[in-house]
Structures are given as C-alpha cells and as structure tokens.
Structure 1
C-alpha cells in the first residue's frame, strides 16, 4: 500500500492531510519531493485523483485542483479526493515544460524507474502511490504558452485494460470539452515519442480510469478555464458518489461529445507577424484561411486555405513566427458520441 493509500484506508473518520513524498535530493541537500493533499470522507467510497502538473509551465490545473480540495468538507464526503499538484517540481521551479536536469518529457516516462534519471524516479514515485488507490485520475495539462485554447480532453484506449472507452468518455463528460481527442498510442498521431509512457495510458494499464484535461494556455492564470475545471471536478465527484448530488454547484454532464480521431498542425510557410482571423474553438470551413503573415516590408500573405473543414483546438497568440513554426492545432476528423 502507498503512503497516501495507507492514510486513506485508516478507520479514523473524516479528515484532511498534506505531505511530501520523498524522491531524491539536490547537490545542496535540498530534497526533491512530490507534495500532496488528501481528503478522506466520513464513509468509504471511490477515490478521485487530480494530478496538477506533469509539465512545469501548466499552471491552471494546479490552481483548480488545489481550490477544489480546499473547499471540500470531509464530513460530507463518501470516498476520497487526492491532489498531487505537481509531478515535476524541478520543471515548475524553472518555469519550463521539461525537467532541466535530464530534459525528458515526463509524460512519456511513466511508469518510471526507481533507479533511473530524476524524471523517471518522479514518475515511479507517483505510480507507486496511484496504483490500487485511485479509481479515476485526471492528468491536468495546458497547451504551451504561445497558444490560446478552449478546455478540451485527450484520451487513449488501452487494449488490455478493464477500463473501456465508454468509461473514459463518461468521466470526461462533466467537463463539457469542446473536443474529446482520441490519441493514437502507436505513434501514427501528431506527436512523436513514447506516447504509451503517458500517465493516463499507464493508469489505464493499471485499471484506473484516466484522461488528460487541457485547460487553456501554459504559464498563465486563466480564471475562466480554472472555473471550468472546478465545476467539472465537482460534477465528476457527484457522478462517482463522493459528493452529494443534490448540491446546486453540480452541473449536468454533457450528453454527447465531439470525438476527434485525427489532429494535425498548420505551420508557417514564411516568417513575419501572424495576424489571426479566427479564434480557438472555431470551425474553419474548407477554403478559408486562419489569418495572414505580415512581413517587415509591410507585405501581407494569407495563410494557406484549409483543405477541408477543421476545428481549431489551439491557435497561436504570439505573433512572431519563423518558417516552419506552428500556427494552429486542428481537428481534421471527428464524430459525435452519445454518453451513457
């Protein structure tokens, strides 16, 4: 049993605790730890686990998860809520996506390695706590700081997991994502690297319902996106039986989701200043352009028109672009699924 799991299973009534999971140390002797907050309800039940940050510049989820935990009343709960606000503390302190001490993408290193590089050790320490404890885990993310985005979800399907796609879709529904992106784990998707090393995929392998909730832009405090997450946490906790469903703070889950099967990037053909003519979340029709590139000689070139209809998952807000840089993240293929 894990440290957090041992505390949750104590028969000592409703309570709240916080602490640090030791992972290692710096040359100065300063400890490398994973902080946590755990809230135990008055009666046994399911456990919702909110993991606030795999990448160091993804802040909105941290704030939302901590606010949600702070507002909980243990005596009114049946079950538990756990928040690990950062899984990558060294990247957080450095205000960057990756851990500066090994440059690994932490969300491609799970389930980790107790004897590996520091990112692998951080991943291992978290998975040792999560297994056998969490029933649902939300892996909280944002897009990078150069982009605007509306809240959306990303999920995988594990062929050997007892958790079904329908289970994951139902857990995402309380957040009303504008798209729910099914990510190909086999490497045929829009991202390179070890996609099967993602926290949510490894949780599925361990029998834990898990997905990624993307909350706007990195390195920013965005109250509207934080509020979306807090409402969704509450509604999901009601759905799981952790909180009383009669509370007026709970919103009804979405009845349908727009499931995206293929995504891709639009990149700049030339350098200059990107002047968008659309907003994140927009449906852009075939033949339309998302904006112009203005060069420093005052000439303007439209971005190439869309070859087909697409939904803007993320749109660049930093106007300074070079050839080959990303302008937009686009959903190219989708359908509508009903949520049981």
Structure 2
C-alpha cells in the first residue's frame, strides 16, 4: 500500500504542504487506482479539517472548490492540519459519470466500505480508513447534476453520537448557503438508496462533525458559486480553530428545510424554466412548461403548495418522468443567536 495520509502528515514540516495518492486498487492494465490528496501541517493542536470532493464523478465543480480552498487556507497560519481529497472517486471522475463505470455502485452510499467486495466498496473502505483516525470536521462537497441550474445549499443528517443540530447549523451557516436541508436517514430519501452509507453520516457515527455542501451544479465552472463556497470554507476553518483568517460576524439565523422533493414531468418534449434557483414559487405558480416537438404546450409544471427552488432543469430535452426541479416544500428560519456566541 502507498504512503498513507497520516504518515505523510507526520513527515511534513510544520507550515509546509504535501501531496500524494492513496492507493485504492489496481486496473487490469496495471495502473493504480489512486485517490489524490493534499495536506497542510499546522503548528498547534487545533482540529483537523478534511474537505472531501467528487465522491460522484460528474460533480466536477466540487473538485475545483476543494483545490481552491486548499490554496487559500494553506497560505494562512495554521494551528491544526488540513487535508483535502479533491477527487474521491477517480474512476467515475475520469469517465464523467456519477458512479464507477465498472460496478455502477454509489460511493456515497457505500461507507464505511468493504475491503473484500466490489471495487467501489473497496474504494470507500480505503478512504474511510484514512479519514476516520485523522479528521475532526469533515465537509463532503457535492454539486447537483449537470442537467440542472442550482444555488449553493447544504445537507446535514442527525446521529445520536453526532453533533447537536444547532451546532451543525451554526457551522453550516458560515458557508452562506441558500438553505440547509435536514435529511432523514430513517425514512426514504428523495431518490432510492442507502442514505446511512453516506460519508458524513458515518463520520457522525464516530462522533465527528460532518455535513455536505452542494455547490451549484456539475459540468461547468460557476465562478460565483465557487468563490462563495471557498470563502465559506475558510470561515469554517477559522471558526473551528484550524486557522486564523479574517474576522467575521457569525450569522444569527439560517433557512432550514425539513422536506424536499424532486419534481418530474408527466410528458416529453422541451422544458422551458420559468423560475430561478433560490426563488420561492407560490402554490400553483408555474415552475416551467413542456412543449412537444410541434411547439404545443403539453404540460405546465407547478406545485400545490409554496416551494423553495433549489435546482431547476437547464437541459431542455425531457421524457415522461424526468426531473425538472428540486424543491423544498417545508422550510423556516432557525435562530442561531445563542449558538453563534460559541465556537463550534
């Protein structure tokens, strides 16, 4: 096995950075399956902040956020270690697919992984055994699919061994998301899958603080979304004591969503959006319309109750059942004033 992240950190001079690959398997060609990582060694005993990205291979913008954050934070005085894994799923990333082309398994539903089964499970196991002993705070950076336009938002889960909800929301608020979405692990998710196998949830089980940040959508470089995310991650690093950045005011509230859903089209054709990410649509207000190949409007898409638009479809070609929007249907502002007076 190649040199691990912990070994690399122990050999890194205080104030210096390093990079390498975590070996996670081998291809038939003999080439190594390697997870790239970057480390920055702090001079104190502050918490280790680990930023993970591109757990889904089509979420390219997440990797850009991770690398730009590392460049920004490593130029600051560090009192704890920083680790960044910008491409957690290298096989899927190289193919620009959400899942590995070899087994089709969702990496972010596979943690803590298995060392003796499918390739994606082996990858999850290898990454998790690096993360678990080192990381104190983990942010798993995602984007929405490339067929959508989306605002920056966060997703968090609750675990009996994990951080309290207000503490998580307080940290998340530093990233300036449009909304923080609480995901119920016990029930069905927005899409089929094993939600409890998510990296952030498995880190919560170990008593770590962890959540997901969604930065716009994949398949593009949205400079505004990236800059917003990078600045927020630097604030987080400052707040938890990993670095000393520019002083800031703690947010006193955050918009929290407790129910989300995908909106689908009943008919095929070309989707024309009528709202933008971040907006609130009134009950019955059209989110968009579908026109068939003859130009006729065959569907007007709306919700029976108000909806906060997280993502709206940008790829116009749709078939019956395709997703055209992702919305919050229950949300409210949460007072963080008491939580914001103490560091997370």
**TM-score of the pair, normalised by structure 1:** 0.94
What SS class does the counterpart of residue 28 from structure 1 fall into?
coil
Q: Is the 8 A contact 2:73 2:234 kept in 1?
A: no
Q: Is the 8 A contact 2:141 2:212 kept in 1?
A: yes
Q: CA deviation at 1:74?
A: 6.3
Q: CA deviation at 1:76?
A: 1.7
Structure-2 residue corresponding to 1:295: 292
Distance (whole Å) between structure 1 residues aligned to residue 87 and residue 125 of structure 2: 14
Aligned with 2:281 (options 276, 279, 284): 284
What SS class does the counterpart of residue 261 from structure 1 fall into?
strand
Q: 1:74 to 1:280 in 2, by over 3 A?
A: closer
Q: Is the 8 A contact 2:72 2:234 kept in 1?
A: no
Q: Is the 8 A contact 2:12 2:41 kept in 1?
A: no
Structure-1 residue corresponding to 2:211: 211
Structure-2 residue corresponding to 1:107: 108
Is 1:328 aligned to residue 315 of structure 2?
A: no
Structure-2 residue corresponding to 1:27: 28
What SS class does the counterpart of residue 60 from structure 1 fall into?
helix
Query: Deviations for 1:27-76, whole angstroms, at most 9, x for unmatched residues?
Result: 11000111100001122211110001100011112112112212334672
Structure-2 residue corresponding to 1:182: 182
Structure-2 residue corresponding to 1:225: 225
TM-align CA RMSD: 1.7
Q: CA deviation at 1:26?
A: 0.6
What SS class does the counterpart of residue 294 from structure 2 fall into?
coil
Is 1:265 aligned to residue 266 of structure 2?
A: no
Larger deviation, residues 292-301 vs 258-267 = 292-301
Is 1:313 aligned to residue 304 of structure 2?
A: no
What SS class does the counterpart of residue 178 from structure 2 fall into?
coil
Q: CA deviation at 1:253?
A: 4.0
Q: CA deviation at 1:3?
A: 2.7
What SS class does the counterpart of residue 168 from structure 1 fall into?
helix
Aligned length: 335
Distance (whole Å) between structure 2 residues aligned to residue 317 and residue 205 of structure 1: 37
Q: Is the 8 A contact 1:15 1:74 kept in 2?
A: no
Q: CA deviation at 1:303?
A: 1.6
Query: Deviations for 1:274-332, whole angstroms, at most 9, x for unmatched residues?
Result: 11111111100012111211112221245243211110111000111111111111100
Distance (whole Å) between structure 2 residues aligned to residue 304 and residue 278 of structure 1: 11
Q: CA deviation at 1:168?
A: 1.5
Query: Deviations for 1:212-262, whole angstroms, at most 9, x for unmatched residues?
Result: 1001111212111110111011100110112224x2xx6534321111111
What SS class does the counterpart of residue 192 from structure 1 fall into?
coil
Distance (whole Å) between structure 2 residues aligned to residue 15 and residue 201 of structure 1: 31
**TM-score of the pair, normalised by structure 2:** 0.93
What SS class does the counterpart of residue 132 from structure 1 fall into?
helix
Is 1:87 aligned to residue 72 of structure 2?
A: no
> 5+ unaligned residues in a row in structure 1: which ranges?
none
Distance (whole Å) between structure 1 residues aligned to residue 29 and residue 46 of structure 2: 42
Distance (whole Å) between structure 1 residues aligned to residue 82 and residue 12 of structure 2: 16
Q: Is the 8 A contact 1:91 1:100 kept in 2?
A: yes
> 5+ unaligned residues in a row in structure 2: which ranges?
340-344
What SS class does the counterpart of residue 174 from structure 2 fall into?
helix
Is 1:164 aligned to residue 161 of structure 2?
A: no
